[in-house]
Structure 1
Amino acid sequence: MFGYENREAEAWVYPMEIADGLTLSFRLEGYPLDIDGRGIMSSIVVRPEATTLVYAHAAFTVREIVFAPIDEPGLVILLDVRSVLPLTITTAFRPRLRLMWPATSMTSNLSWDGAAHAYYITEETGRFAGVLGCPLARDVSVMPYQEEPRDLPNRFVIDAPPETLAAELVPIVIAASVEGRDAAKRTYDRLLASIPTLYARTSDHYDRLVRETVGVTTPDASLNTAFAWAKVGIDKGLATNPSLGTGLLAGFRTAGESERPGYAWFFGRDAMWTALATTAEGAFETTRTALAFLRKFQRQDGKIPHEISQSASLVRWFDGYPYAWASADATPLYVIAHADYWRASGDRAFIADAWPSILSAYKFSAATDTDGNGLIENTNVGHGWVEGGALYPAHEEFYMQGLWVAASRGVAELAAAMKDEGVAAEARAAAERTRAAMERTYWLGDRGFYAFATKLPTAAPREAETGPHRDQRQGRLNALAGARLVDEDTVLPAVPLWFDTVQEDRAQTEVDHLGAGAIATDWGSRILSNRSALYDPLSYHYGSVWPLFTGWTAVGAYRYGRPHVGYGALMANALLSYPGA
C-alpha cells in the first residue's frame, strides 16, 4: 500500500496496481453529510508490521490498521471502530489492474459478487485478476454494463449495527493473481480466513529481525532507533514477483497516473549496496537471496543487470529496452558483495556454487580496460553512478576504479578459498595496478581532491539542461568539451575511501572536502560541490543530496580515522528518520 498523509492511497500486488484512489469517509445516523477521512486524520502510528491511520471526530474514532502479510500476494486493512452513534463507513477506490511499467496497460472490468461481498477486477485475457472485499460490505456504485464508462470512484458501504462494529475488527482484504480470477479468489479467501495468524506471523517476522540481527546501543537514543528502522526499511524492500522470483527493490512512492511506483522494481547496483548492509547486520538469508536473484539474470558474458522491471517477464525487457544493461558498476559491485558475504559468513558452499558466476562477472569488468592503462571504462559498457546530467558521460569514473580495486581484492580472497591461486595472483596484481593508475590520473594536488572522471573529447559541448544559472553551466560545459579530465569536486571519491583504495595523505585532504560546507549539508552530502559552475540544487545528478552519498561519506571518513566527519554524515542520515527532517 503506497500513500501519503491526507491523500488517496494505492494498492499494489506485484506486478500489478490493483486499485488507487483509496479513501474512507463516514456518516453518522441523523447527520446529513459525509465526513471525509482525510480531513479528520489525527495521527499515524507506524510499527514494523503495520501502519495505523487514526480518524478522530467528536462522535467516533476509527483506527485503520494496514498490513501486508509476509509471503502473501495481498493486503489487509482492519477497521477498529468506536462510535457513540450508528456509523456508516464508505470505502472509495478506482479499480486499475495496471501492470507495472513498461508492460501495456489493460482495460479492467469490475463486477460485484453479492454472496462473497467482494469485487472482481479482471481483464480480457483472464490471466490477471484482483479481488477486493469485506464481509460486511454492500456495493453502492457498480454501473450497468451498457453505461458509458466514467472516471468515478467505486464505493461500498459498511453499515453494520454499532454493537457489531464495536465487538470485532472489520476486515477489508485485497488479493491478486497472475493466474486468473479463481486463483485470486482462493488467495482472498485464504487471507480473510487467517487474518489473526497472518498478523501474528508478520509481527513475529519483525521481532525476529530485531532479535537475530545486529543492533546498536549508544548514548544517543535517536541513532539507536534510526538504526533499527533502517533494518526494517531494508527488509520491506525484499519482494517476490510471481514470474521473476525474490529480490531487493530500490524504493517506493505512489505512481499517480503512471505505472511507476517510485523505483519499486529490481536493481542490480542498488541491491548490491544494500547487500553490504544486510551482511553487516547479519541478515545473511537476505544477502543470499539478493545475490542469487541477480545471478539468475546475469548475461552470458558475465555482466550483471542494472534494473529489472516487475513486468520484465511480460515484455522483451532484456533485449528490447535500454535499461537492463545500462550500468557498468553493478558488475564489480556483485563481486564485492560476494566477497563481503564470504568474510562475514564463511559460507563456503554458497560461494562455491556462485564461483563461476563471480569469476564471469570479474572477467567482464576486467575486459573493459580496452587500452591497458589499468582503469576500467564506462565507454561502451555503461554509466557509473552518474547516469545523466552535466557530469555525463564519463569515460573512466574514479568511483568505478575504487569498485574495481575492491572487486579485485575480493576475487583474490575468494580464489584463494576456491584453491585457484592463478586467479588470486592475477587479481591482486590488478588491484595494485589500478591503485597506482588512480593516483596518477585523478589526483589534483593543487586543489586537494580526486577528479570525477576522465572523458573523451567531443566536437561539440553538451547542452545545459534548463534550470537555474543555465548560462553559467553552459559555459562550464563548453570548457569541458575538449577536456580529457573532468576536474570536478564530487562526493564520489567517498567510495574509493570506503574500500581503502587511496593514498593515506591524499585521503585526509579528500575527507576535508567531503566534510566541508561545499559538499556537506545538515541533511546529507551533495553529489557535486556547490562551488562548481555546474551545480544545480534541484538536479538529479549534479547537485542533489542523497542519503546514499551521505552513507558513503560516513564510512569513507571513518575508514581513514576521521570520526568527526563520519559522525556528522552518519547523524545527517539518522535524523532523516524523524519528523521535521
Structure 2
Amino acid sequence: MRAFVLMMLALSVGAGAQGLRPVAAFPMREDGLVLRRHVSAGQPFTVAGPEGVIVGEQQGSFEAWVLPVKLLSHFTIEAQVEGYAVPIDLNQAAREIDVRPDRTTITYSHIAVTVRQTMFSADGVGAVVMFAVDSVRPVDLTFRFTGELREMWPKLSSGVPSAEWVERGASGFYVLHSDYPEFAGAVALPGAKSGIMAPFQERPQVHPLEFRLHVDPKADAGKVYPLLMAVGRTKETASTAALEKAMGDVDGRLGAIYSGHAERYKAQAAELTSIRTPDEGLNDDFSWAVTSIGQLRARLGGEMGLVAGYYASGDSARPGFGWFFGRDSLYTLYAVNGYGDFGLARSELEFLMARQRADGKVMHEYSQTAGDLDWKAFPYWYAAADATPLFLTTMLDYVRASGDVAFLAAHKDKVMSAWAFETSHDADHDGIYDNSEGTGWVESWPTSSTHEGMPKQEVYLALMDQQGSAAVGQMARLLKDDTLAQAADARAAKVRAVLEKEYYVSKSGEYGFSQDFGKIDKTSTVFPSVAWWNDGAGYTPGLEHAGVSLRRWASHDFATDWGARDVAESDAMYDPISYHQGSVWPLFTGWAAMAQYRSGHALAGFQSVMANADLTTAQDIGAVTELLSGAFFEPFGRSTSHQLWSSAMVVTPLLRGMFGLEVDGVARTVKVTPRLPADWDSAEVRRLHVGASVVDVLYRREGGFMNVSLSPVSGEAVRLVGPAKVALPAVEVSMGHGLPTPGSRTGQVKVVDETWSGRSLRLEVEGVSGTVGRFTVRQNVSGLKVAVEGGGLDGSALTIPFSGAAGYMSKVVTLRW
C-alpha cells in the first residue's frame, strides 16, 4: 500500500485559500526521455524552473529556493516503522535516481519501507517535491530542515529567521519570521505535527525544524500530503494570514499543476529540433541539452532571462552561478537558435538590451536580487568586455536563423550603440578593441604587466572584435545600409590583418595569448580556436597560419579524454586545478570542436564534441558541468553542475559542425556541409527551424556519395543550397567514444591530423605506449584493396599499436588503395 507526501514551493502569496488538506494522488507521465542510475554519493542533482529551484545530492538531501529566496536547506528524512525499533536514515538508504525532463525521482529502499522522492519545477508555480511511501506497517516520518529565508547574493541577509508554529486543529504550519515585517516565509504539511520547538524561556540553542507525519498504509492509501511553501516580500504578503492563504490557494491544484507542466515538456519535444542517428545515446544527449538550457530560465518581474547555472549553495546564498550573465547566454543562444526556440532567443536579447549601458556596453552580470540594490555600486554589471561584440554576432545569428529582420530594425539603435562602444575603446591605438573597459576572457593572468591583473588585449577579444565588425556589415546589408556595411567590412578586414601581425609567433607557428602594448604573451592556449566560431556570408573563419594550433589542440597536450584544456599541459603556465590556466571547460571543448570541423579535421572534431555529449550523464544527470580538472577526470568541487553554456556546447558543434548546417531564415535556405562519422549509414536532423518554416534534413550514404535532402514539415518551401549529392572519399575511418573512469588520467588515442591525397589517407595519431588504437575502416567504393602502413587491418578493423618509452607517442598511419 502506498501513500504520497508532496512538497510545493509556492511562487508568491495569492488568494483563495480553501483550507489545507490532503488531496488525491495523480498520474504522472511515463513516456519520453529517462536516465536511470544508481545513486552516487556526493554527486549533485538539480531541479530548476523559472520560479523555483531544488539543488542537492543524490542521497536526497536538498535546499529549496522560491526565487530569489533560499527558503530552506539540509532537508532530510527519517522513518520509524511500527514494531521495528531501529530508526531508519532514509538518506543513507538512497539507491536509485531517475531523471526525466519533467521530474527527478530518488528511491530510498529498506526492508521495511520504500520511499520515492519525486521533484519538478513548474512554470508559474515553483518547485515541487513528492514522497510516495510504501511500508509494510504504519510508519512515522520525520522531515528535518533548516529554515533559511535568505535572499540571493548579494542582498543583505536579515539574519537567521525565527520559527513560529501556527496551530490549526491537529496540525499547523511554520512561519519563518525575519527581523522585518515585510519579509517572511511559511511551510506547511497538512496532517503533520511540529517537532522540537525550544520555548522562549530555554537557553539559546539550535534545532532543525521538523514535521512529524504518521502514515498508515491501509487508512492513508492514495492520499497526497502536500508540503506547501510560500514567501511574502511586502507587509501585505508577509503576514501570517496572507501566507496561509497563499498555501491554500495552491493546495487543491497539484494534479493540474503537474499535468500542465508535463504537457509543456511534451509539446517542446514535438516542436523543437532533435537528431536521429545510429548512436541512441547521442540522440538523447542532444535532447537533454535542449531540456537543460530551457530549465535555466528565471523570471525577474515581468521578464524572463537565462541564468548561468545552479549548484548547491551550502551555507551561503549563492546557488552556483544562479543569476544572469551576458556572455553565458549569448554563447548559448547559438544553440537556442539552432534548435528553433526563437521566442526564448528573442526574449533573452531583449533582457540584455534592457540592461545595455547608455554608452553601448552590453552587461556582464546581473543578480536575481540586483533590482533591490544599488547594483551600479558593485563591480560586476559591466565587468567583462566580450559580451559587446558577442551581442553583435549573436543578434545576426538570431536574425539569420529566424528571418526576423523586423526585430533587427526595431533595435538598430542598440546594435549601433554596441558597435560604437566596441570601435571606440582601443587603448594602444592599434585598431583592435581591448580590455581597457573590462576583462576579455580572464579576470587575471599571472604574467600580466597591467596593474589590473589582466592583459591589455587578448587574442580571444581581438577575434571577437573582428567577428563583431563582420556581423555589423551583414546586418547593415539586411537593413539596406550600404555605407555602414562597407565601413564594417573594412574594419573587420583591418582587425584581422593587425591581429595576424600582432599575435602570430612565427617561431612556434602559433598565436599568442595576449599582448600588452607590443609585448606578447606566448602562452599556448585554446583561445585562438574562437576564430572559427562564426561562419557564413560575411565571415572569414579561421586564421592564416592555423596548422600548428589545430594539431596541438587535437593532441594530448590539450585534448584530455573529457575535453579541451585551456592551456597546454607542456606550457610552464599549466596548472590543472586552476580556474583559467589548465582546467577543462566544455565551453572550450565546443570552441575546439567548431574549429576542427570547420577546418577539415572531422575526427578530432568528433572526439571533442563526443567528450561534451558524454558528460551529460557524468555528474548532474541530464546536464553538463562547468569545468573539470586538467589532470584527472573529476569536476571541480565548486563546478556549477547544471551549467548553461556547457549544455549549449553539445548542441552547436553537432548541428553546425558534425551535421554542417548553415540556416538562412531570411532567404529560407539551408546549406549543408556534412561531416558525419564514417560508420553512420544515415542520420536525420528533425524539425530544423528555418525562419517560420520547419524541415527535416535527411542524410543517406549511397556508394561514394552522401545524399542530402530536405523534407518539409510546415511553412513555406525551404531550398537546399549546394549539392544534394556530396562526394565522399573512397576510404574513411571512424572511431568510438566514451569517458574514462573517475580519477583517470588521459589515455585514449588522439587523432592529430588527417589528410587525403589521391588514393591514400594519412593519419597522424597519438597513443600511450603499451596501448592499441582501434578504428573502423569504411570503403565507399566497392572492390578496393586497402593496404596499411603503420598498423594492422583485419577486415574493417584497423588497429594501431603504440610501443616505446612511457607516455604518449606519435605515429603516422597511411592507408593506400
Q: Same fold (TM over 0.5)?
A: yes
2:222 is the alignment partner of 1:161: no
Equivalent of 1:268, from 321, 326, 349?
326
Partner of 2:658: none
2:312 is the alignment partner of 1:254: yes
Amino acid corresponding to residue 286 of structure 2 in structure 1: F
- Once the two structures are superposed, what CA deviation does each residue of 1:346-368 show, in whole Å capped at 9, x if it has no partner? 11232222221121111111111
- Distance in 1, matches of 2:283 and 2:102, equals 19
Equivalent of 1:239, from 298, 322, 328?
298
Bigger helix share: 1
Answer yes or no: is the 8 Å Cα contact 2:469–2:489 preserved in 1.
yes
2:440 is the alignment partner of 1:384: yes
Partner of 1:175: 230
2:557 is the alignment partner of 1:524: no
Answer yes or no: is the 8 Å Cα contact 1:93–1:153 preserved in 2.
yes
Amino acid corresponding to residue 189 of structure 1 in structure 2: G
Partner of 2:132: 80
- Distance in 1, matches of 2:487 and 2:316, equals 48
Equivalent of 2:285, from 219, 223, 226?
226
Shift of 1:416: 2.1
- Distance in 2, matches of 1:118 and 1:67, equals 22
Partner of 1:12: 65
SS at the partner of 1:159?
A: strand
- Distance in 2, matches of 1:7 and 1:538, equals 29
Moved more, 393-402 or 160-169: 160-169
Answer yes or no: is the 8 Å Cα contact 1:81–1:165 preserved in 2.
no
2:528 is the alignment partner of 1:493: yes
Answer yes or no: is the 8 Å Cα contact 1:117–1:137 preserved in 2.
yes
Partner of 1:462: none
- Once the two structures are superposed, what CA deviation does each residue of 1:54-90 show, in whole Å capped at 9, x if it has no partner? 0111111111111111122x32211111111001111
Amino acid corresponding to residue 350 of structure 1 in structure 2: F
Bigger strand share: 2
Equivalent of 2:354, from 288, 296, 302?
296
Ranges in structure 2 where 5+ consecutive residues have no aligned partner: 1-53, 448-452, 619-740, 743-817
SS at the partner of 1:542?
A: coil
The alpha-carbon distance between structure 1 residues 356 and 189, as it changes in their structure 2 partners (threshold 3 A), is farther
Amino acid corresponding to residue 357 of structure 1 in structure 2: K
Higher relative contact order (Cα pairs below 8 Å, separated by 6+ residues): 2
Shift of 1:30: 2.1
- Distance in 2, matches of 1:146 and 1:352, equals 68
- Distance in 2, matches of 1:503 and 1:410, equals 15
SS at the partner of 1:545?
A: coil
Amino acid corresponding to residue 317 of structure 2 in structure 1: E
SS at the partner of 2:284?
A: helix
Shift of 1:126: 2.5
- Once the two structures are superposed, what CA deviation does each residue of 1:34-62 show, in whole Å capped at 9, x if it has no partner? 21111111111111111111011111111
The alpha-carbon distance between structure 1 residues 188 and 411, as it changes in their structure 2 partners (threshold 3 A), is farther
The alpha-carbon distance between structure 1 residues 504 and 533, as it changes in their structure 2 partners (threshold 3 A), is closer
2:84 is the alignment partner of 1:27: no
Answer yes or no: is the 8 Å Cα contact 1:28–1:85 preserved in 2.
yes
Amino acid corresponding to residue 543 of structure 1 in structure 2: G
Partner of 1:373: 430
- Distance in 1, matches of 2:172 and 2:527, equals 55
Partner of 2:624: none
Partner of 1:509: 548
The alpha-carbon distance between structure 1 residues 238 and 232, as it changes in their structure 2 partners (threshold 3 A), is same
Shift of 1:522: 0.3
The alpha-carbon distance between structure 1 residues 199 and 549, as it changes in their structure 2 partners (threshold 3 A), is same
SS at the partner of 2:610?
A: helix
Equivalent of 1:564, from 603, 610, 613?
603
Partner of 1:421: 482
Q: Map 1:143-542; keep pairs closer than 5 Å.
A: 143-179=198-234, 180-182=237-239, 184-242=243-301, 245-318=303-376, 320-379=377-436, 381-390=437-446, 393-456=454-517, 484-499=519-534, 501=540, 506-542=545-581
- Distance in 2, matches of 1:59 and 1:81, equals 11
- Distance in 1, matches of 2:117 and 2:220, equals 13
- Distance in 1, matches of 2:563 and 2:204, equals 48
- Distance in 2, matches of 1:406 and 1:137, equals 60
- Once the two structures are superposed, what CA deviation does each residue of 1:291-347 show, in whole Å capped at 9, x if it has no partner? 1111111111111111011221222112x1111111000111111111100000011
2:157 is the alignment partner of 1:98: no
Shift of 1:188: 2.6
- Distance in 2, matches of 1:144 and 1:283, equals 54
The alpha-carbon distance between structure 1 residues 273 and 134, as it changes in their structure 2 partners (threshold 3 A), is same
Partner of 2:773: none
The alpha-carbon distance between structure 1 residues 430 and 96, as it changes in their structure 2 partners (threshold 3 A), is same
Aligned sequence identity (%) = 35
Partner of 1:478: none
The alpha-carbon distance between structure 1 residues 164 and 358, as it changes in their structure 2 partners (threshold 3 A), is farther
Shift of 1:506: 2.1
Answer yes or no: is the 8 Å Cα contact 2:363–2:382 preserved in 1.
yes
Shift of 1:400: 1.0
Amino acid corresponding to residue 143 of structure 2 in structure 1: T
Amino acid corresponding to residue 128 of structure 2 in structure 1: V
- Distance in 1, matches of 2:457 and 2:95, equals 52
Partner of 2:754: none
Amino acid corresponding to residue 331 of structure 2 in structure 1: W
Question: Aligned-residue CA RMSD in angstroms?
Answer: 1.9
With the length of structure 2 as denominator, give the TM-score of the two structures: 0.65
- Distance in 1, matches of 2:428 and 2:543, equals 28
Shift of 1:185: 4.2
The alpha-carbon distance between structure 1 residues 499 and 446, as it changes in their structure 2 partners (threshold 3 A), is farther
SS at the partner of 1:257?
A: coil
2:66 is the alignment partner of 1:66: no
Answer yes or no: is the 8 Å Cα contact 2:60–2:94 preserved in 1.
no
SS at the partner of 2:215?
A: coil
- Distance in 2, matches of 1:521 and 1:537, equals 11
Answer yes or no: is the 8 Å Cα contact 1:511–1:565 preserved in 2.
no
With the length of structure 1 as denominator, give the TM-score of the two structures: 0.91
SS at the partner of 1:299?
A: coil
Q: Between Structure 1 and Structure 2, whose CA radius of gyration is higher?
A: 2
Ranges in structure 1 where 5+ consecutive residues have no aligned partner: 457-482
Shift of 1:15: 1.3
The alpha-carbon distance between structure 1 residues 568 and 187, as it changes in their structure 2 partners (threshold 3 A), is farther
Amino acid corresponding to residue 199 of structure 1 in structure 2: Y
The alpha-carbon distance between structure 1 residues 354 and 150, as it changes in their structure 2 partners (threshold 3 A), is farther
- Distance in 2, matches of 1:372 and 1:503, equals 24
Number of aligned positions between the proteins: 551
- Distance in 2, matches of 1:20 and 1:360, equals 44
The alpha-carbon distance between structure 1 residues 220 and 448, as it changes in their structure 2 partners (threshold 3 A), is farther
The alpha-carbon distance between structure 1 residues 495 and 190, as it changes in their structure 2 partners (threshold 3 A), is farther
Amino acid corresponding to residue 494 of structure 1 in structure 2: S
- Distance in 1, matches of 2:445 and 2:199, equals 51
